[in-house]
Structure formats: structure tokens, C-alpha cells
Amino acid sequence: MSIMKGNNSVDVLLAHPWKPDETDPTGWWISEKLDGVRAFWNSKRGKFYSRNGNEFVPPSWFSKGLPRDKDLDGELFGGRGKFQSTISIVKAGVVNIQLENNPIMRKISK
């Protein structure tokens, strides 16, 4: 089941404030909030999308090992204090030889 809507937007979960008296997180997977770019991997299409349905075009090496049978939802994270460089790489939207070999793009995959 995909969470892609007909207009290419993505129906992803969004953060809400935790209310300790209402929610027991026992058994949940919890991680630090990273300052990155939200991205959804559509395994059937083999493409990344923003939660608004904008396609992200990564270099081929970046998505080569991703599953073709499971959708993924997460953050493209370039490192602490690197949000601006991460967003500029993601917004470039064009795969070219400079982006394909960009050392900053390679750091996002680590």
C-alpha cells in the first residue's frame, strides 16, 4: 500500500506535541529530531518525493541500494548545521555530473 495520493502529494505522518498523560510510548521507535528535508521513497516508482509531492532527483548511486518493494519515509540529513546546503542540493532537482560527484551529496548518504 502506497501513501501517494492521486495528485502526487504524500500522506505522511506529521509531528504532534507529546502528551505524557495521554500517550504511552512503550514499544515505540523514537529518534532525535534531525534538521533535514522530509523525503518519501516511492519504491514502485523508484523516486523520492516531498510531502507536497515534489519530486527529488538524487544521483543514481544514492538510490541504487534502496528497496523496490518497500516505501520509506524519513529525512535527508546533511549533518548538524548543514540544513541550508542540504536544502540547496535537494532543490537543485537536476541530476548532472557536478551533482553526481558532489562531495556534499555523498555526505548526505552516510
pLDDT digits (tens, 9 = 90+) for 23-80: 888 998 877 778 888 888 999 999 888 888 888 888 788 888 999 999 998 888 888 8
**Whole-number pLDDT of residue 4:** 56
Using CB atoms within 10 Å of the CB of residue 30, give its burial: 0 to 12 exposed, 13 to 18 middle, 19+ buried. Answer: exposed
CATH topology classification for 1-109: D-amino Acid Aminotransferase; Chain A, domain 1 (3.30.470)
pTM greater than 0.85 = no
Catalytic positions: 33
**Whole-number pLDDT of residue 66:** 93
Domain boundaries defined on the chain: 1-109
The SS3 assignment for 110 reads: coil
